[in-house]
Chain A
Amino acid sequence: MFAFCGRGGDGSLTTANTLAGIGKLLGVCPHGQRGVESNIKTEPTELWLRLASVPIACTSGLLDVLVAFDQSAIEDEEGEGRTLPITQMRDGGVLIYDSSPRLLYPNMKHELNRAAADAILREKKILVFGIPMAQEIMRRFGANAYVTRNAVAIGVIAELFCLPEKACRAQLAREHKGGTRLEWNIAAYEFGRQFTREQEWKLPGVSFPESAGILEECQLTLGGNAIGLGALVAGCRNYVGYPITPASEVLEYMAENMPSPGVVVIARSQDPSPEEVAFLDRIQQTSGVLIQEMSELMAINQLQGAAIAGARAMTATSGPGFSLMQEGLSAGGIGEIPLVVVLSQRGGPGTGLPTRTGQEDLLFSIFGSHGEFPKIVISPKDLKEAFLFAVEMFNIAERYQTPAILLTEQAVAQGLFCSRAFPLDQIAIDRGKLLTQEELDSLCASGTPYKRYEITEDGISRRTIPGMRGGQHLATTNEHDEFGSAIETIKNRLAMTHKRMRKFEVAAKDRRLPQPRVFGSKDARFGFITYGFPTNATCEAAAHLEEQGTPTAVLQLRTLWPFPEQAVRAFLRGKDTCFVVEQNYTKQLRRIIEMEVVGPRSRKIKSILRYDGRPITPEDVLEQVVKGGLN
């Protein structure tokens, strides 16, 4: 487990990426998390990188190696009360820092003063390796070479872990395509290695993970990209979004990869081969549009238009944008419009912690928006689920003709994950009761007038889209009759309310919605209930408890609304204690469990919470289990 710390612009992310890249060349699976402030430069920044033989989807709270590019890793100079990365080191870990003198370079704010952390360094028996990264690089190549100082840290790590030269050099060459940049980086890296050898630094007790030979079969990317790919495979051909952290990854992925007729036109002008022409034809037949809208208000309403027109359409946002979208979601509820919205949670309220993770919007995603209408909320824990659930969102939204929300969080959307290959050929598309022109023609021929909001047993009506002959109707935000015409009679109001809510009852029994999953010992008397990203850390903690002799089970809720009440009831049966693990203060998931299953005074249920904007770790879970007691 590695952490790279410095100020924004110091290259912590670059260093983490380089090491992850070397790891990949050696067949090791990386998992990365960003701990950055909402700024581009200067504020303290932490990057967490965990390397393992097999895919792991959470960071560990115990650092083996901490790389400090400035004082911020070991001292809270501004007195902000930050939790220092140094306090998260395991006993006997390694601190690697830049020991160049102060004010050597204007951007480099501080020389590292290790005295500030002396007590903790001694207590944890931390090995401290200081190396004059900036000083050496600038002495050889001048002030401009300052930015390559982080490659020195790569050299030190490479030497400590005996990483093969070839892989390290290959990775650096990959990142810096030749020229002086590459030359300086290689020199910095070599200096790191050589200095480590000369000082005879060693790292006892930790070795670099071995390759299990599975990396090459794996998907390796950010969660946000997997959501984007899932959407495209589901047939999303209209993405509308407004930039917001941490949902911009989805916007950018879609911008890059949405099949576009414009791209085809350019490619055609380049004299393609017959195979390429066939490929381009196919792209043109499946082409869509990406629109960067001017606000979330415009995004959600543009989405309505696209969905009414029959396109599979999606938007992704975070808390503030989701707040702005509430009216539009509600309109989609009464208009029975299949809206697909990705909500990538971040710390709130207000602007809150824009770049950090949280699960503060669970209740908001379920109960937000005015009025009552069926809404479906599902949440993935990792890369593969992000992909699969993104696909499923479209099927759900069209099957029930209502807003569907993919509830995720910064740690998933912006986290780097490894997972087994996505099962592309197993993807099924279900457009629900969307009529074809032939079906509509035979309906019209039978003399039955088409009714967009026809009252049916399952509450779902047959859907047509503009351009279909005979399917004319009014898609409306007013209470309406079966044709869509505004009407306020008591009889109609009740019939329409019941019709819409019947869809929710049907969805609650729909086994095609992502079902809850139980990990660990089925007959355990001790368990966890969680959803989303914390599932990963919880499962790791559970495995640890199991190893120590406590049979433990974890229930991951994947569809959150309609709430899987029966699964939770079944899981709780036979449990003495059950911790609900979530990343918020108000115990939102626990409140739903209390509301739907156990009532407010159950002693069986306890909470494990983390709401400081940082991704929860297995150590967090274990620590609070110890505090809360197993019984």
Chain B
Amino acid sequence: MYDPEEQAFIKKNTYSDIPLTVKDISGKESNWCAGCGDFGILAAYKNVVVKLHNEDGVPLENFVAVGGIGCSAKTPEWLAKSPSAGNMGLYGCHTLHGRDLSVASGLKMTNPNLIVVAFGGDGNTLAIGMSEFMHTCRRNHNITIVIFNNQVYGLTKGQASPTAHKDLVTGSTPRGVRDQPVDPIQLAIVAGATFVARGFSKNRKELEELLLAAIRHNGCSVVDVITPCVTYHREEGGKIRDTAIYGWWDEHIAPIKDIWGDAKQRVEKESAAGPDYDVTDKLHALAVAHEGAEGGRWPLGLFYHVIGVPTAEEVVGIAERQPDGTLKIHAPAHANISVQDNLPYYRQLAEALRYKP
């Protein structure tokens, strides 16, 4: 699923010789509702961290979990060091509503060695944080964006989010949602993300694979994860709720390969003998996403994955591609800012702001 070459940017570190366990990073117990889909994502991510540490050799202190605001955006809290849990914990930032991707890109653009993963809900990322989302994808920052998609705002107790389907009744839409829903998959692809996938919190194994590949991908990865809200997402006038909402979701999802059958007719270059679904083809990916969105079936799996597109960090030169394919990092956070050492350059700059006869 991922290109082995892409691992080159993850450096081996002797500190990572001690194998990590999930317990080492499990912090304070989360305060999500029983049955919430978010548990599945948290568990999957912990396994991914352990794997990246033990297999790829990523030092624990290089992981940074960034959250916006919302139930899901609390994820960094449950990964942080906690004296009661006695864990080692991950670095984390619990930021503002919709602004997590700016903080994430700020971290990455000043220290490309960090593995930055942003966690936010559909409201956080696709309503108030839409601008951040589009531009983070567009610049192809080498970070992973995990969208917890459940069609509702949970922490403010059940209003419609931008991904809510038409006619969904919520606290803020008593007569049903009127607006078109947004599709993060199509947006991410069009905006320029280079790894776009959708998982389901319940399908832990597939989700883990997607997250692992997303983080290993050198570029902007978007993983939209369906995570049922058992408290505020109610279908058919409230008849389907609680954990029954999982059943509703089961009827509204399908693997990409199933939807591709219908979608490929939309792709011009398809012929009877033509190629099958190609994850590097933007039109294939868009066709599937579009077909799914139109038909009310949310496609699951890896939509789109291209490698070799320069990341934002490569474009500005702080991650410098070497002839052997590895990346040499010049982290601005670790720049030598000693005045003494830089005096020749500073003198040159001051000289330029002087009158020259």
Contacts and interface: CB of A to CB of B under 8 A. Distances in A.
Interface of A: 24-25, 215-216, 218-221, 225-226, 229, 232-235, 237-238, 240, 257, 259-265, 279, 282-291, 293-295, 297-299, 301-313, 327-328, 331, 335, 421-422, 424-425, 427-429, 449, 465-478, 483-486
Given A282-B345, A287-B318, A298 B132 contact: yes
B99 A297 contact: yes
Interface stretch (B89-97, B177-185, B248-256): B89-97
Contact of A305 (B59, B80, B107): B107
Nearest to B80: A474
Interface of B: 15, 27-28, 59-62, 64, 66, 69, 74, 76-77, 80-83, 88-96, 99, 102-111, 113-114, 131-132, 135, 316-318, 320, 330, 332-339, 341-347, 349-350, 353-355, 357
Contacts of B66: 305
B145 to A, nearest CB: 14
Q: In the complex, which of the residues A307, A311, A313, A465 has the most CB atoms of chain B within 10 Å of its own CB atom?
A: A311
Contacts of A221: 353
Contacts of B135: 294, 298
Contact of A282 (B316, B330, B339, B344): B344
A478 B349 CA distance: 41
B102 A298 contact: yes
A465 B113 CA distance: 12
B106 A303 contact: yes
B81 A473 contact: yes
A305 B104 contact: yes
B346 A237 contact: no
Given A286-B345, A301-B102, A424-B339, 14 more contacts: A219-B350, A220-B354, A235-B339, A237-B335, A301-B132, A304-B102, A305-B93, A307-B106, A309-B333, A311-B335, A427-B339, A429-B339, A465-B111, A474-B77
B147 to A, nearest CB: 18
A58 to B, nearest CB: 20
B337 A229 contact: no
Nearest to A426: B339
B61 to A, nearest CB: 5
Contacts of B109: 238, 289, 291, 302, 305-306
B92 A475 contact: yes
A422 B355 CA distance: 13
A17 to B, nearest CB: 13
Given A237-B332, A285-B335, A429-B339, A476 B94 contact: yes
Given A261-B318, A289-B109, A218 B355 contact: yes
A301 B102 CA distance: 5
Contacts of A465: 111, 333
Contacts of A466: 61-62, 64, 91, 107, 111, 114
A240 B337 contact: no
A407 B95 CA distance: 26
B106 A467 contact: no
Given A265-B317, A286-B345, A470-B61, A309 B330 contact: no
A294 B131 contact: yes
Complex A-B, nearest 4 residue pairs according to Cβ-Cβ distance, in ascending order:
A305-B106, A235-B337, A262-B317, A301-B102
B111 A304 contact: no
Q: In the complex, which of the residues A282, A467, A470 has the most CB atoms of chain B within 10 Å of its own CB atom?
A: A467
A471 B332 contact: no
Nearest to B111: A309
B111 A310 contact: yes
A24 B335 contact: no
B317 A474 contact: no
A262 B69 CA distance: 35
A437 B338 CA distance: 18
A232 B349 contact: yes
A467 B332 contact: no
Given A262-B316, A302-B102, A429-B339, A467 B114 contact: yes
Contact of A215 (B95, B332, B355): B355
Contacts of A304: 93, 95, 99, 102-103, 106
A301 B95 contact: yes
Q: In the complex, which of the residues B69, B103, B111, B347 has the most CB atoms of chain A within 10 Å of its own CB atom?
A: B103
Contact of A306 (B91, B110, B113): B110
Q: In the complex, which of the residues A221, A225, A476 has the most CB atoms of chain B within 10 Å of its own CB atom?
A: A476
Nearest to B128: A297
A467 B131 contact: no
Nearest to A304: B103
Contact of B110 (A216, A220, A238): A238
A259 B332 CA distance: 10
Given A237-B337, A287-B318, A469-B15, A424 B346 contact: yes
17 contacts: A229-B350, A237-B333, A290-B316, A297-B131, A305-B102, A305-B103, A308-B103, A313-B106, A421-B350, A421-B354, A424-B346, A424-B347, A424-B350, A472-B80, A476-B94, A477-B96, A484-B94
A485 B353 contact: no
A322 B80 CA distance: 32
Contacts of B15: 469
A301 B96 contact: yes
Contacts of A25: 357
A286 B27 CA distance: 37
B137 to A, nearest CB: 12
A298 B131 contact: yes
Contacts of B80: 472-474, 483-485
B110 A237 contact: yes
